[in-house]
């Protein structure tokens, strides 16, 4: 059995195995139905601030396994539903970021920088269409790379990035984000260090509680979802409520945004944003192939790179369509590429990939790793069939994104007409409800409100919240990488300078901070 035979078997399995019903005599398989249901659910949770794709995948997985069981026949329907959620939430996540300046996930925060200014200028429909086109383009490009390169690309990445290099790469990422995002490099560094400090409260890698002041709740650390959504969403809600209160005092009225002018995505618009989509999709794919890095870094790097090559009239951060394109193409390109290390090495690329891996480990018949793509003479490698079945489900979900996703984006434009005095309490309630449902703890709700207050103060002091969020997310990965690097190098305190690659990453981190700090000084 050759490679083409396995590809064909994977396609046939997805479209014909275990039909649920038929339309005009054409059988509709359970896997296809589950992809559609997951896609619709992903759009909904992506467009709802405070929920997001990973949260929906976490809730869905145990329910799906209880319905379909643990046998190999359950694998593709369960994976199809999870893939549908992952794909649908990638386009849905841009909706609250563009219309309401309330990102549901850290990577969609970058979309607010130009998406919400476009909404305030009366172009919410155009901003949503740009986000949709860029997101699906980046996702499709990433899937093509996944399908063609999964057997060997992740192995090459893993070969050249050991623990010291991974630690140095995370340090470079934090330095880059702190220097590029926001108007002040030093405020960005302060935000990043504050995020790391908050993340290190609680139990560390050594199993001992630290900085908890003897409090049992703090001994486990701050819940990630509470801290991130508190700073991103609750902080923005507090700021918006204050602005609404001031506006009512000064004008005795609340101004609502009205859509004006052309809202369509024209061919000229596509020509403008295509170069930025291409650059960011490549960045997102490369970042997605790196285990444990994720879409937040991809969105940041894509946006920063786009801003460097941009020559237009409207600056990035003031409603440039290219800024939306750069961000959405980058973070969506991670969706496919993050399965490269999953299928080739059994290592998750980001949070969504964790649940894909967990499903394969829970359901029998598929063990991600190099053996998945191994051809055996005169035999069928069933794991390879499942792998190409998964690829087929992803391509089908992309087709849904190109068609129904575009319709959804056009419908979402009407949400901007919701009065702020009604919208803000709804966003606040949804976010706190999502936190409580996931954590089932009032402590998590209090933490969310506390971090929301912190996010509000940071905004008042004009400190970008993105370095804080990314540092909070990457802090534990950095600690783990540094501890492992320290161990594998024989307790060498200079392990960050043990290889040319790690030295290059550290040097680039220093250069980035100095370069942007000097430019900032020159502009002041």
CA distances, 388 to each of 94, 155, 186, 355, 499 (Å): 29, 19, 48, 18, 37
Whether the Cβ atoms of residue 321 and residue 273 lie closer than 8 Å to each other: yes
> For 307-326, how does the pLDDT look when each residue is reduced to its tens digit (9 = 90+)?
888 887 788 878 888 888 88
Whether the Cβ atoms of residue 83 and residue 343 lie closer than 8 Å to each other: no
Confidence label for 263 from pLDDT (cuts 50, 70 and 90): low
Residue 411 is predicted with a pLDDT of: 73
Q: For residue 471, give the nearest of 219, 280, 300 by alpha carbon.
A: 300
Least confident of 291-295, 369-373, 455-459: 291-295
Q: How would DSSP label each residue in 420-475? A: HHHHHHHHHHHHHHHHHHHH--HHHHHHHHHHHHHHHHHHHTT--SHHHHHHHHHH
| Top-ranked range on mean pLDDT: pick from 216-220, 379-383, 493-497 | 493-497
159 has a pLDDT exceeding 70: no
Residue 522 is predicted with a pLDDT of: 46
Whole-number Å distance between alpha carbons of 250 and 245:
9
Residue 396 is predicted with a pLDDT of: 92
Share of the chain above pLDDT 90, in %: 5
* CA neighbours closer than 13 Å in the CB half-sphere of residue 409: 32
Whole-number Å distance between alpha carbons of 296 and 441:
27
Confidence label for 479 from pLDDT (cuts 50, 70 and 90): confident
Which residues, including other chains, have CB under 8 Å from residue 270's CB and lie 6 or more apart?
133
| Top-ranked range on mean pLDDT: pick from 19-23, 66-70, 217-221, 271-275 | 271-275
CA distances, 477 to each of 360, 405, 485 (Å): 23, 34, 12
CB atoms within 10 A of CB 232: 29
Pick the more confident residue, 414 or 454: 454
> For 180-189, how does the pLDDT look when each residue is reduced to its tens digit (9 = 90+)?
666 678 888 8
Least confident of 121-125, 218-222, 371-375: 371-375
Q: What is the mean pLDDT of residues 291-308?
A: 74
Confidence label for 524 from pLDDT (cuts 50, 70 and 90): very low
Residue 415 is predicted with a pLDDT of: 60
Cα four-point dihedral sign 159, 163, 168, 171 = positive
Residue 459 is predicted with a pLDDT of: 87
Q: What is the mean pLDDT of residues 416-444?
A: 74
Whole-number Å distance between alpha carbons of 249 and 245:
6
Q: What is the mean pLDDT of residues 387-393?
A: 88
**Mean pLDDT computed over every residue of the chain:** 79
Residue indicated by tokens 């990457």: 474
Whole-number Å distance between alpha carbons of 467 and 474:
10
Whole-number Å distance between alpha carbons of 322 and 26:
43
Share of the chain above pLDDT 70, in %: 82
3-class SS at 68? helix
Confidence label for 268 from pLDDT (cuts 50, 70 and 90): confident
Q: What is the mean pLDDT of residues 430-437?
A: 76
Ranges of each domain in the chain? 3-523
Whether the Cβ atoms of residue 33 and residue 412 lie closer than 8 Å to each other: no
> For 63-103, how does the pLDDT look when each residue is reduced to its tens digit (9 = 90+)?
788 788 878 888 889 899 998 988 888 777 788 788 877 76
Residue indicated by tokens 């161990």: 487
Q: What is the mean pLDDT of residues 357-369?
A: 74
Q: Give the burial class of 71: count Cβ atoms within 10 A of its Cβ; 0-12 exposed, 13-18 middle, 19 or more buried.
A: exposed
User: If you ran DSSP here, which 8-state letter would residue 170 be given?
Assistant: H
> For 109-135, how does the pLDDT look when each residue is reduced to its tens digit (9 = 90+)?
788 888 888 888 888 888 888 988 998
Q: What does the angle CA 127 – CA 119 – CA 45 come to, to the nearest 5 degrees?
A: 65
226 has a pLDDT exceeding 60: yes
């Amino acid at each position: 059995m050759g490679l083409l035979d396995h590809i064909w078997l994977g396609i046939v399995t997805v479209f014909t195995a275990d039909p649920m019903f038929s339309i005009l005599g054409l059988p509709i398989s359970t896997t296809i139905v589950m992809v559609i249901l997951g896609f619709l659910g992903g759009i909904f949770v992506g467009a709802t601030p405070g929920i997001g794709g990973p949260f929906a995948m976490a809730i869905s997985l145990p329910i799906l396994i209880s319905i379909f069981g643990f046998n190999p026949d359950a694998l593709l329907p369960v994976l199809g539903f999870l893939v549908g959620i992952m794909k649908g939430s990638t386009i849905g996540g841009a909706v609250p970021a563009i219309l309401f300046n309330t990102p549901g996930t850290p990577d969609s925060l970058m979309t607010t920088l130009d998406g919400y200014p476009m909404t305030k200028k009366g172009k919410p429909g155009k901003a949503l269409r740009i986000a949709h086109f860029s997101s699906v383009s980046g996702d499709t490009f990433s899937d093509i790379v996944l399908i063609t390169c999964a057997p060997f690309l992740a192995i090459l990445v893993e070969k050249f990035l050991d623990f010291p290099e991974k630690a140095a790469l995370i340090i470079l990422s934090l330095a880059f984000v702190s220097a590029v995002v926001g108007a002040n490099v030093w405020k960005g560094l302060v935000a990043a260090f504050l995020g790391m400090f908050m993340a290190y409260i609680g139990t560390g890698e050594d199993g001992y509680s630290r900085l908890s002041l003897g409090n049992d709740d703090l001994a486990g650390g701050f819940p990630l979802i509470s801290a991130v959504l508190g700073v991103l969403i609750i902080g923005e809600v507090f700021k918006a409520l204050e602005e609404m209160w001031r506006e009512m005092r000064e004008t005795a009225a609340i101004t609502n945004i009205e859509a004006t002018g052309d809202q369509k995505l024209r061919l000229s618009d596509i020509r403008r944003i295509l170069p930025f989509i291409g650059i960011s999709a490549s960045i997102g794919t490369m970042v997605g192939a790196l285990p444990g890095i994720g879409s937040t870094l991809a969105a940041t790097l894509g946006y920063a790179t786009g801003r460097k090559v941009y020559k237009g009239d409207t600056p990035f951060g003031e409603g440039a369509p290219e800024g939306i394109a750069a961000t959405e193409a980058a973070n969506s390109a991670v969706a496919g590429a993050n399965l490269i290390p999953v299928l080739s090495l059994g290592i998750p690329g980001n949070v969504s990939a964790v649940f894909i891996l967990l499903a394969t480990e829970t359901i029998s018949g598929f063990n991600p790793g190099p053996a998945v793509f191994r051809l055996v003479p005169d035999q069928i490698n069933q794991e390879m069939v499942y792998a190409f079945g998964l690829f087929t489900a992803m391509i089908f979900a992309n087709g849904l994104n190109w068609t129904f996703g575009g319709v959804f984006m056009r419908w979402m434009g009407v949400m901007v007409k919701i009065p702020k005095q009604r919208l803000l309490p709804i966003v606040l309630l949804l976010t706190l409800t999502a936190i409580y449902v996931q954590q089932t703890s009032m402590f998590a709700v209090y933490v969310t409100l506390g971090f929301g207050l912190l996010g509000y103060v940071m905004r008042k002091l004009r400190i970008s919240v993105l370095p804080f969020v990314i540092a909070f997310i990457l802090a534990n990965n950095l600690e783990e990488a540094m501890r492992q690097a320290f161990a594998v190098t024989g307790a060498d305190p200079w392990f960050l300078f043990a290889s040319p690659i790690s030295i290059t990453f550290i040097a680039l981190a220093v250069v980035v901070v100095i370069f942007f700090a000097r430019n900032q000084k020159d502009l002041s």
